[in-house]
Structure formats: C-alpha cells, structure tokens
C-alpha cells in the first residue's frame, strides 16, 4: 500500500476506533461552551488594566481560572485557529496563512477538536467565526465554496442578519453596511442599539440555540465566535462614550526597533481602510481615537458575551457545562510602531484564556503559568474524560486548573512567515529572523522581567541565554513547503 493511500485511510481508522468507545458514559459527560474572541489583546479589568471595561469576562474570571500568560502560536486569525482546532504546532508553510484550515484540512479534519468530540458522542455546533471564515464556508463572499473544515460540525452557520454575506458580517458597519476595502474608515460609532452591529446578532442566536440545547439528552460542544474587537473598531456610540481616550495610556514603547526586527508597515490597518489622510504615527489625536475605538469594540463584545453566559445560568446549564473564553491572538496599538498583529512580539501573541468548570478548585485565583493554545485541545479531552488522538503538541492544563501555582511544563512557541520563530519562557523571549547565504540569523532577545515593553534587544549581551533558547526551538518542527 502506498504512503498516499495510507494517509487517506488513517483518519478513517481514527474515527472508527473512536466511535467504538464513544457512547459509554455519554450522558455523564459535561457540555462544552467555547467562546472565541477575535483580536483581543491581554487587557481585561481582571488583569488589573484600569482603562479596560470588561465586566462580563472579569466575572467569568472570578468564577473560573484566568491564565494570565497564555500565548497563541501564529499572529493571524486563520492560522491561529488552525493550531487550536488541530492541537498541533504548524509544520508546513501553508499553516501560517489565513487559509491554513481550508488548504490543509484533508490531512487532519477527522482528528480535529470538533470531529473528535463528535466521534465520541457529542453534538457539535459552530456559530459565527470559529474557523477563519464565519459560518465555515469558503469561496465568493465566503458563502459559495466548500466547507472550510468539512464533516466535523452537526451545524455551522452565521445568524440571519442585515449583513447579506459572511464577508459582510465579518467587517460589518452599522445596520448591514459592508466594508468598502481601502475606503471605509477603521472605526465607527453609530448612535443606536447594540443590534446595529453583528455581535449582538451572534449573541441572540447563541441564546436561542442554548434554549434548544437545554433539554438535549446528548452532550454538546457549542462554539460561539464573536467578531470584535477585530477591525473595524465599530460599536454603538455608548460604548465609545464609556472610554475617555485621554485615560487610555499610550504604550511605553512606540519606537520602531533597530536592526533585525519584526516591525512591519501595518498593512491590514493602513491598506484595508481609508484614513482621510490621517496616520496615528504622527497624529496623536488619531492614535487616541484608534485606542478608544478598540476599547469600545472590546466592551461591546464583552456585553454580548455576557448575554450568552446569562442564558447559560438562566437555563441552569452551568452545573454541567465547561466554559472556555479564548482569543485567537493579540493586537498592537502602537507598540513597536505597529498597528496590528502579524509579528512575534508579546502584544501580538499574548491573549486572554479563561476556563471554568463545575467543582473547579480555587475559583477566581489566576495562574501565571506560561501556557499555549495547543494545550486547550488535550485539556478539554482530559476534563471531559475522552481519549486523545495521537501526536497532539500540547499538554493538559489540569495541573494549573487544580492548583493555580503549578509551574509551566514547557515554554510557549510562535511562528511567522519568512521562517521566523520565537520561544517565550518565564523570563525571556527570543525571536529568530533567518537570513540567507552565509549570514547569521538576526536575533531579538528581551528580558521580560526587567523590560516588559520589549524596548531593549539584549541578544548581543546574553549569548548563553540565546544558545539555551535556540536549543528549545529545536523541539518544534521546521516548516516544509
């Protein structure tokens, strides 16, 4: 039998084997409510950020476990969600783009996170943005092509709303208006209700779905994906008014790094939107407006997420439901002179993660352990009493859930285009920028203990630390074409 044939058959074998054991104890297994947030940097009131107004996520953190140092692997939406759903580090260049799931899923869909739950007796549902394309389809307007991750969801959809297509709702402006690429402003504050923007429609659909699931004899895995605070920073005016732009501090380090660096020209922010000739780099008022818009979009999303949590409580589902709130990556608001993600700095890869389940010890006590997105897959399987597929990259976070002071079992790894890689330990972040020919790789090393803003590259001063961290990078795969 050829290797190619074996590759096709292997996922089928995994499904068959898992189906054999899927029914035992299904009624006793907890439900899973997975709340995905788009582009939320690690700034919550629960993290002590004074200007953050995130009361619903803060309340979830008070009843669950907040992971204050959770890191995603790839600083763009589709690729980050690939690592979540596959539970493995990237090993191909195709895994680094927003089309990572659709272009590679044929090799791993049957052993993906939702497929594994489905094979073990769970009903699986995906609402909003869980994979890269809202609703899970590809093609024209993200609505007419094949499924992005086929055969894993019992239902994958977006709510019926004023926005006519998944592409339009992803970048939605008030009352159904789609984005005009390169022309629409990167912010909007409409003086109207929460239903003027998409996340309120996602929340309403999620509440209705929970009502339908309330009496289900079958355990369920329900993933709900919110769109904000992803660009455009658009929200009802009241959420803008909640934030005084003068009270949102400017980043401590807004200087473009010298030498080899991850700086880029913020193409998503500058090229996909019109700015009427303004630029936050030389217009402080515009920079304050952008930070206010991001904060407003965050608070708006937080309120919609809270509606879903309220419904879970009202339906008395909390006693048998795991709740996870996760963001696919962070976002820089002028740090390193970057407005966006697409780099390997701390604010791009660090994002919120909260896990709550019935009987959680020490609820409300955060953990500072360094953890990664690939740890979520094995953690959910562990907590739900399910076997794991082979070759997952992460480890269960049960130790940190049971004891917040438990140490990190491993560092956090990140990957980006051009062969760039990073490793984050308790104290250090090393970023390696490959160079061609006989040139040695460019290095950025930051001591996050004394320099949390990554303002000073100390690679030349700490050669032993560099070698130790480069050795850790040998534990992750090289990316092949």
Respond yes or no: is residue 132 known to be catalytic.
yes
Question: Structure tokens of 478?
Answer: 């090289």
- What's the whole-model pTM score? 0.94
Please pick, among 53, 70, 132, 342, the residue that the annotation labels catalytic: 132
Find, among 141, 153, 71, the residue nearest to 112 by Cα: 153
Give pLDDT, residue 10: 43
Give pLDDT, residue 436: 67
Q: Residues in the chain with pLDDT < 70? A: 1-27, 436-438
In a domain, 406, yes or no: yes
- Per the structure, the count of domains in the chain is 1
In a domain, 459, yes or no: no
In a domain, 474, yes or no: no
Give pLDDT, residue 438: 65
In a domain, 431, yes or no: no
Find, among 339, 254, 348, 325, the residue nearest to 293 by Cα: 339
In three-state secondary structure terms, 236 is strand
Instruction: Count CB-CB contacts under 10 A for residue 152.
Output: 25
Q: 324 CB contacts (<8 Å, ≥6 apart)?
A: 32, 33, 34, 35, 353, 354, 355, 356, 376, 380
User: The domain containing residue 268 runs over which residues?
Assistant: 3-410
Please pick, among 53, 77, 243, 433, the residue that the annotation labels catalytic: 77
d(CA 472, CA 413): 9
Find, among 282, 290, 281, the residue nearest to 245 by Cα: 290
d(CA 474, CA 432): 12
CATH number (domain holding residue 315): 3.40.720.10
Please provide the DSSP assignment of 34-89 as one string.
Answer: EEEEES--S--GGGT-TT---HHHHHHHHHSEEEEEEE-SSSSHHHHHHHHHH-S-
In a domain, 304, yes or no: yes
In a domain, 465, yes or no: no
In a domain, 479, yes or no: no
In a domain, 272, yes or no: yes
Question: Structure tokens of 288?
Answer: 């304050």
Respond yes or no: is residue 171 known to be catalytic.
no
* Residue 142 Rama label (left phi>0; alpha psi -120 to 50; beta): left
């Amino acid at each position: 039998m050829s290797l190619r044939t074996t590759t096709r058959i292997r996922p089928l074998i995994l499904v068959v084997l898992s189906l054999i054991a899927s029914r035992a104890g299904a009624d006793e297994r907890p439900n899973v409510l997975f709340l995905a947030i788009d582009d939320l940097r690690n700034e919550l009131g629960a993290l002590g950020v004074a200007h953050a107004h995130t009361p619903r996520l803060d309340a979830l953190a008070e009843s669950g476990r907040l992971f204050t140092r959770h890191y995603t692997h790839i600083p763009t939406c589709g690729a980050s969600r690939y690592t979540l759903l596959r539970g493995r580090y990237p090993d191909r260049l195709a895994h680094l783009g927003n089309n990572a799931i659709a272009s590679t899923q044929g090799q791993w869909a049957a052993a993906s996170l939702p497929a594994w739950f489905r094979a073990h007796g769970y009903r699986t549902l995906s609402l909003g943005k869980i994979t890269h394309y809202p609703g899970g389809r590809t093609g024209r307007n993200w609505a007419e092509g094949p499924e992005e991750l086929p055969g894993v969801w019992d239902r994958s959809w977006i709510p019926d709303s004023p926005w006519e297509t998944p592409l339009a709702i992803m970048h939605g402006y008030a009352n159904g208006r789609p984005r005009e690429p390169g022309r629409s402003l990167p912010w909007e504050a409409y003086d109207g209700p929460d239903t003027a923007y998409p996340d309120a429609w996602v929340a309403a659909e999620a509440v209705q779905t929970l009502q339908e699931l309330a009496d289900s004899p079958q355990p369920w895995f329900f993933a709900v994906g919110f769109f904000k605070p992803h660009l455009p920073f658009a929200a009802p005016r009241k959420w803008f008014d909640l934030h005084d732009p003068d009270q949102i501090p400017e980043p401590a380090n807004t200087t473009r790094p010298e030498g080899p660096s991850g700086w880029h020209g913020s193409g998503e922010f500058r090229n996909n939107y019109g700015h009427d000739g303004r630029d936050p780099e030389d217009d402080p008022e515009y920079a304050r407006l952008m930070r206010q818009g991001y904060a407003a979009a965050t608070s708006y999303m937080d309120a919609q997420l809270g509606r879903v949590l309220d419904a879970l409580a009202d339906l008395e589902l909390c006693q048998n439901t795991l709740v996870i709130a996760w963001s696919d990556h962070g976002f820089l608001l002028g740090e390193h002179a970057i407005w966006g993600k697409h780099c390997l700095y701390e604010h791009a890869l660090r994002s919120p993660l909260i896990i709550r389940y019935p009987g959680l010890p020490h609820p409300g006590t955060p953990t500072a352990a360094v953890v990664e997105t690939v740890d979520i897959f094995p953690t959910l399987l562990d907590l739900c009493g399910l076997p794991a597929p082979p070759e997952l990259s992460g480890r269960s976070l049960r130790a940190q859930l049971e004891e917040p002071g438990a140490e990190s079992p491993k560092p956090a790894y990140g990957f980006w285009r051009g062969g760039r890689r990073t490793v984050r330990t308790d104290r250090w972040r090393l970023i390696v920028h490959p160079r061609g020919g006989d040139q040695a790789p460019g290095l950025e090393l930051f001591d996050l203990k004394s320099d949390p803003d990554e303002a000073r590259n100390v690679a030349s001063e700490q050669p032993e630390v560099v070698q130790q961290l480069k050795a850790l990078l040998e534990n992750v795969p090289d990316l092949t074409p």
